[in-house]
């Protein structure tokens, strides 16, 4: 909406100047209508299974849908405002010499080319931003990750349980398809709870949170359980398609995280530090009964919601650490 409020009047200013306020009214109405329609596309139409299509297919579908929407909306607004301005009917507006001249020789073609260019650029950037991860594309452009930074945050490792057994059952190719489908289904849970998907390592997923985002509304805890609820809703689909239902063990820790860009030809943002290593080692203490383990430093940062209960496993000597670490098993009541 903010982009529309800036870009649409900018075009009007360059095309018509300030000789009349009429084009600005049309521009404002068109921009806001288009924004609401595009929000409908983004949050309703291009979700779910559609997101699993190929990058190019999604890009073409979005460009086509947005282009048709913009052309239809602009023409509708122009006809409607002319009806009000000149107090005439729709057929009279459409057949008028002024309107026909505008379509054939006026700014209509130029404005549509301007909008079409913005559609292609915007959708390509949005698609690339989603593929690269939250904030990664902008960070690469601005050089945010060029110099490694260290800050406190939450680190979570999720591991697909019994993955070796699943691989033997499905085979390597179908296992990757299965794991990728599970990740697709869980992604909105990660994003909704403000988790940053950092990397995929074999059958594991690394997710990080900034301090505020992870502690707020216990996002770093709720995400794990909401993810399991989503799996439970889709378990019939998984079983019918693959003959197996996924389940994840999780380990959550809190501490300093070092983040920085690595690589030139294939660059990526990597997260290092003692907290990342510790979280990964905590994962080895998970069991069927204790599938989600949270370290004391992480639990101290979060107000435990009333629908969860915590049980102390006990001080554990984590490999590579001098002092023992208290671990807690978190489960739903």
Instruction: Render 54-90 in DSSP notation, one character per residue.
Output: -HHHHHHHHHHHHHHHHHHHHHHHHHHHHHHHHT--H
Q: Go through the domains of the chain in sequence order and give each one's CATH number.
A: 2-132 (no CATH), 137-332 (3.30.70.1230)
Residue 332, phi then psi, degrees to nearest 5: -80, 150
Whole-angstrom distance, CA of residue 19 vs CA of residue 58: 41
Share of the chain above pLDDT 90, in %: 42
- 187 vs 15, more confident: 187
21 pLDDT higher than 70? no
CA distance 181 to 237: 11
pLDDT of the residue at 201: 86
Of 232, 246, 236, 234, residue with least CA distance to 170:
246
Q: How far is CA 151 from CA 53, 129, 196, 212, in A?
A: 36, 23, 14, 12
CA nearest neighbour of 253 among 183, 305, 330, 179? 330
The fraction of the chain above a pLDDT of 70, given in percent, is 96
pLDDT of residue 256: 94
Best-predicted range by mean pLDDT (107-116, 122-131, 160-169): 160-169
Residue with tokens 């806001």: 32
The highest-confidence range among 11-20, 143-152, 279-288, by mean pLDDT, is 279-288
Q: Is 226 exposed, middle or buried (0-12, 13-18, 19+ CB in 10 A)?
A: middle
What pLDDT score was predicted for residue 18? 67
Pair of tokens at residue 3:
């982009």
33-78 pLDDT tens trace = 878 887 888 778 887 777 777 878 888 888 888 888 888 888 888 8
Better-scored residue on pLDDT, 300 or 79 = 300
The reported pLDDT for the residue numbered 204 is 95
- Per mean pLDDT, which of 2-11, 161-170, 267-276 is the most reliable? 161-170
Q: What is the mean pLDDT of residues 110-121?
A: 81
pTM, to two decimals: 0.73
Q: Are 151 and 239 in contact (CB under 8 A)?
A: no
Predicted local distance difference test score (pLDDT) of residue 240: 95
pLDDT tens digits, one per residue of 204-243: 999 999 999 999 999 999 999 999 999 999 999 999 999 9
Mean pLDDT of the chain: 86
Contact status, residue 300 vs residue 328, Cβ threshold 8 Å: no
Higher-confidence position of 99 and 12: 99
Highest mean pLDDT among 98-107, 189-198, 292-301: 292-301
Spatial separation of the C-alpha atoms in residues 291 and 249, rounded to whole Å: 5
Q: For 308-332, what is each residue's pLDDT tens digit?
A: 999 998 888 888 777 889 999 999 9
Task: Summarize the confidence of residues 15-40 as an average pLDDT.
Answer: 74
pLDDT for residue 279: 94
CA dist 210 and 153 (Å) reads 5
């Amino acid at each position: 909406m903010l982009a529309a409020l800036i870009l649409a009047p900018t075009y009007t200013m360059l095309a018509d100047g300030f000789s009349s306020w009429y084009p600005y009214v049309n521009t404002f109405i068109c921009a806001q209508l288009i924004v609401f329609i595009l929000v409908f596309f983004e949050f309703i139409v291009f979700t779910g299974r559609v997101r699993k299509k190929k990058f190019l297919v999604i890009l073409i579908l979005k460009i086509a849908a947005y282009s048709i929407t913009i052309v239809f909306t602009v023409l509708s607004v122009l006809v409607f405002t002319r009806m009000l301005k000149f107090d005439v009917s729709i057929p009279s507006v459409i057949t008028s010499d002024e309107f026909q001249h505008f379509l054939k020789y006026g700014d209509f073609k130029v404005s549509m080319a301007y909008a079409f260019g913005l559609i292609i650029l915007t959708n390509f950037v949005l698609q690339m931003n989603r593929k690269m991860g939250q904030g990664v594309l902008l960070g690469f452009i601005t050089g945010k990750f060029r110099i490694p930074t260290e800050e406190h945050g939450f680190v979570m490792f999720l591991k697909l349980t019994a993955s070796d057994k699943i691989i033997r059952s499905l085979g390597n190719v179908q296992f990757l398809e299965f794991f990728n489908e599970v990740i697709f289904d869980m992604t909105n849970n990660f994003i909704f709870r403000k988790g940053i998907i950092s990397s995929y390592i074999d059958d594991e997923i690394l997710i990080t949170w900034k301090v505020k985002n992870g502690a707020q509304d216990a996002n770093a805890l709720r995400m794990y359980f909401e993810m399991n609820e989503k799996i439970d809703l889709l378990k019939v689909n998984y079983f019918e398609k693959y003959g197996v239902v996924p389940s994840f063990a999780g380990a959550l820790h809190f501490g300093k995280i070092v983040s920085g860009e690595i690589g030139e030809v294939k660059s990526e943002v990597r997260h290092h530090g003692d907290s990342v290593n510790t979280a990964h080692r905590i994962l080895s203490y998970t069991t069927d009964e204790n599938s989600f383990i949270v370290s004391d430093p992480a639990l101290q940062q979060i107000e435990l919601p009333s629908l969860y209960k915590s049980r102390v496993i006990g001080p554990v000597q984590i490999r590579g650490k001098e002092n023992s670490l208290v671990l807690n098993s978190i489960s739903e009541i």
